């Protein structure tokens, strides 16, 4: 597991810039990428798959100061040449392990309904649809530790 290894401001910003347009609503439409990079580095739990100094895949979220004692996965992304190799699934599981070690009751995330590979991956890992109302085109998934 590469937990915070080889992650600095420049390579995280480069990664976020590279995957920005892969999201249905680009990250940069909601936040300034430079500010968001600083926020992730200072407050988030980062699980990273990298090749030398290039981030190939990232799961970023929050495992401290939890609401309802649930960790929150904010970003799951993989660059084009890293896709199809199982990195995202591996990193989501690593994030869940970290959250569990910090005594969270589980984790939650939002997934765009039309992103079928991601939705299937979350279900395969064990996430379930929450009973909270869906937000627009997104599913709200929750994973509880048993």
Annotate 46-77 with DSSP letters as a single string.
EEEEEETTEEEEEEEEEEEEEETTEEEEEEEE
Q: What is the pLDDT of residue 1?
A: 36
Annotate 4-37 with DSSP letters as a single string.
STT--HHHHHHHHHHHGGGSSS-HHHHS-HHHHH
- Taking only the tens of pLDDT, the chain with its 146 residues reads 334 456 899 999 999 999 999 988 899 999 999 999 999 999 999 999 998 889 999 999 999 999 999 999 999 999 998 999 999 999 999 999 999 999 999 999 999 998 999 999 999 999 999 877 667 788 999 999 98
User: Where in the chain are the domains?
Assistant: 2-144
**DSSP single-letter state for residue 138:** E
Region at 31 (left for phi over 0; alpha for psi -120 to 50; beta for the rest): beta
The CATH code of domain 2-144 reads 3.40.630.30
For residue 140, give the H/E element and its range.
strand 138-144
């Amino acid at each position: 597991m590469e937990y915070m290894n080889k992650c600095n401001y420049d390579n995280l910003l480069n990664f976020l810039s590279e995957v920005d347009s892969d999201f249905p609503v680009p990250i940069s439409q909601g936040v300034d990428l430079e500010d968001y990079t600083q926020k992730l580095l200072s407050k988030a739990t980062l699980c990273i798959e990298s090749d030398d100094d290039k981030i190939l895949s990232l799961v970023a979220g929050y495992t401290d100061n939890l609401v309802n004692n649930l960790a929150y996965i904010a970003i799951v992304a993989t660059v084009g040449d890293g896709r199809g190799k199982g990195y995202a699934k591996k990193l989501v599981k690593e994030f869940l392990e970290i959250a569990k070690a910090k005594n969270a009751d589980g984790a939650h995330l939002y997934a765009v309904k039309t992103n079928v590979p991601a939705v299937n991956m979350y279900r395969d890992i064990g996430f379930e649809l929450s009973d909270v109302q869906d937000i627009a085109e997104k599913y709200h998934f929750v994973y509880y530790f048993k």
